[in-house]
Structure 1
């Protein structure tokens, strides 16, 4: 009989723990996310979408910015999954590389800017909780951001080169078929 009592206690205890975590979110992270989203949206309205888009088109000409700053700005301002729409500033041949770069960045930005990808926040917080016992969570978040930008750049460049290679290959195949 004790087995069933312990099983019932464990079962309801699981829901009690879930409720405590939920209340922590309601009093902690959810208001933070609402304020962050409001500030970002206000900034976009104040500066103006046209200015932001013009700036993005200008920096997209440089490879290093195309695969670091644009993913950073797109994920910060538009959040996941809308961030991928910043690919519209790029020529068709660079869009796959931008997507690869941006999708790689939706997790690393979360530690410093939780509004950018709130769904990923729970993963970061789980890692950060363990890290807090041996280090500083802010330091972890900053390293996530820095390493994430490096990974974005490398993935963007590699994917751009692969895309160029595949496009040339397709063009050569079309020319060969036409001849």
Structure 2
């Protein structure tokens, strides 16, 4: 009968720990997320949606900007999953590469802009808290994570675009 008592204490303890974690999030990161998101939407209103669209259309023309600036702006302005809609400014042959570059940036963006992909926040915070306990700076991690993310999304976008072109030519030759 001792196991019944143990089960009862630990079963409710699991929910108490979940409630504590929920309150920590509610009083910690959630207000930050709301303020960041509000700031982003306010900036879009101040700048004007038409101007933002023109910047995205300009970025779509150049490979470097298409796989760096365009995904960064799409994830920061629209957040995940709406960020994929910026692909509408691209021809069909470039959409797979844009998607690949954007997807590869969804996790690194969380370090500095947690509202952009809130689903990844728990993963990032788990890693960051472990490094913090080991004595490392979370700020250094966030900046490095973001910068490496830009490099990776550029590489993946360019490589995927080359693969897409190769496969399209191959399909044309076969038909």
Q: TM-score, normalised by structure 1?
A: 0.93
For each residue in 1:51-109, what CA deviation from the matched residue of structure 2 results, as whole angstroms up to 9, or x when unmatched?
Answer: 11111111222211111111111111110000011111212111100000001111100
Is 1:111 the counterpart of 2:111? The answer is: yes
1:40 aligns with 2:40: yes
| Alignment gaps of 5+ in structure 2 | none
The equivalent of 1:21 in structure 2 is 21
Q: Shift in Å at residue 171 of structure 1?
A: 1.5
User: 1:72 is matched with which residue?
Assistant: 72
Give, in angstroms, the shift of residue 128 of structure 1.
0.6
Give the aligned CA root-mean-square deviation in angstroms. Answer: 1.0
Aligned residue number for residue 145 of structure 2 = 144
Q: Deviations over 1:109-161 (max 9, x none)?
A: 00110110111101111111101022011111111111111110111011000
1:27 Cα shift?
Answer: 1.0
How far off is 1:32 after superposition? 1.3
Q: For this pair of structures, how many residues does the alignment match?
A: 174
Deviates more, 1:123-132 or 1:63-72: 63-72
Distance in structure 2 (CA, Å) of the matches to 1:10 and 1:137: 33
Quick check: 1:123 aligned with 2:123? yes
Aligned-partner Cα distance in 1 for 2:55–2:77 = 13
Q: What TM-score comes out, normalization by structure 2 length?
A: 0.96
Structure 1 residue runs of 4+, over 4 Å off? none
Q: Does 1:53 align with 2:53?
A: yes
How far 1:3 sits from its partner (Å)? 2.3
5+ residue gaps, structure 1: 175-179
